[in-house]
Structure 1
Amino acid sequence: MGMLRKFSTSHSAQKLKRIMNWYGPYLGAGVKIEYLADDWRELRVAMSMKWYNRNAVGTHFGGSLYSMIDPHYMLMLMKILGNDYIVWDKAASINFIKPGTGTVRSTMKITDEMLVKIQQETQHGEKYLPNFEVEIFNQKNELVAQAVKTLYIKRKPPIPGENSV
């Protein structure tokens, strides 16, 4: 993930999208980022059903469903918030609603309200552990799984002497 961290903070959205689509675990699971906004505030990811990503009963592996949504909120916020913040994935849970078959999709968004809340909660150097709800839908737009991603976000302390007049 170190390589992805470097690319997520120093490269354009379209370049990271290309890199992620060739990232071994995503390529092997059949995961594809379909859309990443230039401002990093929206991402759409899909996973098509392949012979190599089916479980014993012919549906998507639960781990593959989770992996398709895994790093995105962290990477998006790293880019949006910049180097003044520490952003890590802290925890996650996933609830499987119905078997996933065919192509499944998920859209993740960062809103102005989310960013204001992050800035408010971290303005004095406090850690903030927001939850981001993520839904995965099948081709009929039926809910397949719901996940909750908890991130660790903390504003870095100012460097002494920086921004001094």
Structure 2
Amino acid sequence: MASTPLHRMLGQPRAFQMLARIYPPLLGAGIRVTSISPDWTRGELSMHVYPWNANHNGTAFGGALFSATDVLYGTMLAGQLGGGFSVATKEATVRFLRPGRGRMSCTVEVPRTEADRVMEQLQTSSGVDVRHLATLYDPKGRAIVEAEHVLRVKRRK
């Protein structure tokens, strides 16, 4: 179980979604978590380019685009695994396919079977690397960014 009331609250999908909306790094990047399913299996976010998060070309900064692909998967996997586990991005490969303009979106799914597989692997290993591909799309359904993440999952001591 998490150690503080805030950490316990973040273990609830609705509370995470609400707090993520005011979390300064996401807020400043124009990223908004729009939904998280009650069982942590599906999450959606949107990202909008505003004057304060646009580069000199009027498009989204690459780091903000990367952040949009990074925020959901690890949080949702950790939510399914429950307290006692650490989930952190170990490495990522990002492909910027076209400039990010206007409103973009990303949907992430973490099937329960995936979390169960990770939990099973942790029975015989101190840590597990999990791969995930996240894609950010524009309103016309065109891919803007593809990012392959490797996350390290470990039991907390």
Question: Do the two structures share a fold, i.e. TM-score over 0.5?
Answer: yes
What amino acid sits opposite 2:149 in the alignment? K
Mapped to 2, the partners of 1:95 and 1:125 lie a distance apart of 31
Aligned equivalent of 2:94: 94
Matches within 5 A, 1:1-150: 6-7=6-7, 10-150=10-150
CA distance in 2, matches of 1:139, 1:149: 24
Contact 1:93/1:147, CA 8 A, preserved across alignment = yes
User: TM-score when scaled to structure 1?
Assistant: 0.83
Contact 1:69 1:106 in 2 (8 A): yes
Letter in 2 for 1:102: G
Q: Which of the two has higher C-alpha Rg?
A: 1
Decide which structure has greater strand share: 2
SS at match of 1:59: coil
The corresponding residue for 2:151 is 151
Unaligned regions of 5+ residues in structure 2, if any? Answer: 1-5
Please report the TM-score for the alignment, with normalisation by the length of structure 2: 0.87
What's the CA shift for 1:155?
4.1
C-alpha deviation, 1:8, in angstroms: 6.5
Per-residue Cα deviation, 1:47-102 (whole angstroms, up to 9, x for no partner): 11211111111211111111123232222122210124332221122100111111
For 2:30 and 2:101, locate their aligned partners in 1 and report how far apart those are by CA, in whole Å: 13
Q: Distance in 2 between matches of 1:54 and 1:97?
A: 17
Hey, which bits of structure 1, 4+ residues long, moved more than 3 A? 6-11
**Is 2:89–2:151's contact at 8 Å kept on the other side of the alignment?**
yes
The root-mean-square deviation of aligned C-alpha atoms, in Å, is 1.9
Length, aligned pairs only? 152
Structure 1 portions without partners, runs of 5+: 1-5, 158-165
